[in-house]
Amino acid sequence: MVWLGIDLGNARVGLALSDPELTFAHPAGNVTVRGDYFQAFDDVLNVIEDEHVERVVIGLPLQMDGTEGKSAKKARRWAKSLGTRLAAELEDDLSGIDWMPDIMLMDERLTTVDAHRRLLDARLGTRRHRAVVDQQSAVTILQTALDGRRAGAHGSEE
């Protein structure tokens, strides 16, 4: 099984997957959501099923002082709703999901800044950032969780 990293954005939801050894995160694409990332549920459920995701790591956009603003509260609601949808899929005999992945929230402060920096380091022009920055942010979120796992810390469990 693998882990799935998610960066919730207003235009796109970025996705990243781990390798089976839970060592490295790599980009897994974007889901276009046009202002409401609750639209991404079906696509995310498909990835969870297809990739046999064991843990979902969702970016929690805390404010710089560590407090939760509107975006963080919305991310918490999204994570809770995903858990509800997964539980319903688990009960549905027609669903391909027959396990319940863990859902974890991970502080994502500055991940977008880090993603832009990494894209510049990779010599990707700034015009092309928009299409890949969300999935690169998801990679950073997931890699942080994977590194924390190896260090013995898991972040904030949901």
Q: How far apart are alpha carbons 117 and 114 in whole angstroms? A: 5
The CATH number of the structural domain formed by 2-157 is 3.30.420.140
At residue 155 the predicted structure's pLDDT band, cuts being 50, 70 and 90, is very low
Is residue 96's pLDDT more than 80?
no
Closest residue by Cα to residue 28 from 115, 151, 149, 137: 137
Give per-residue pLDDT as tens, 31-48: 988 777 778 898 999 999
The reported pLDDT for the residue numbered 156 is: 46
Determine the 3-state secondary structure of 34 from DSSP. coil
Region 141-148: mean pLDDT is 92
